[in-house]
Amino acid sequence: MNTDITDPWCGTDVPESSNDKCKNCFEDSFVENQTQHIKLADSEEYLEKLYSRLKNLQKASSKKDLVTSLFEAKEDSIARLITSGCKLETEEETELTSNPLIRHIAPHLQALTANELVHLLKADVLQIVNESMQEEEEIDIQTLTDKETTNYQSKE
């Protein structure tokens, strides 16, 4: 036995016991000098039961193989999705830059994602009022231009 520096027994050499007479047996065998194996009375019956169980297991292995292959395919697809580097977030779910002051003063007005921003814009009353005023101005301008064109045509 070679000793190492990390030997916990600090280099004490233990002689290796070599029994050339017994290569395929235990050192502390409780049965001495028994060379012939004695079969039990019901060993043939026991072996037949074991073989029948083995056949049943081999028949059901096709179902287990199917489940195992489906599980492996699922794990492979999950691993492929994780390692592929594709974005699982949609463009609507990407985070927006936020103003910390507005977020502190009025957090209900600060959108965190683009999807939230759409809902905030729908609920923005000032924008709705502003758009309606612009539409009214466009209608007024259009009516004025229509009147001017009719007046110009009537003068001719």
For 87, the token pair is: 């974005």
For 115, the token pair is: 């999807």
pLDDT in the model for residue 137? 94
Q: What would the pLDDT profile of 54-110 be if each residue is shown by its tens digit?
A: 888 777 667 777 788 889 989 989 888 888 776 655 655 566 677 778 777 877 767
Secondary structure letter of residue 37 according to DSSP: P
Max avg pLDDT among 98-102, 121-125, 127-131, 139-143: 139-143
Which residues are CB-neighbours of 29 under 8 A, at least 6 positions away?
A: 22
pLDDT in the model for residue 39? 81
Lowest mean pLDDT among 15-24, 38-47, 80-89, 130-139: 15-24
3-state secondary structure 77-108: HHHHHHHHCCCCCCHHHCECCCCHHHHHHCHH
For 124, the token pair is: 């923005």
Please state whether the predicted TM-score (pTM) of the whole model is above 0.75.
no
Mean pLDDT within 40-54: 90
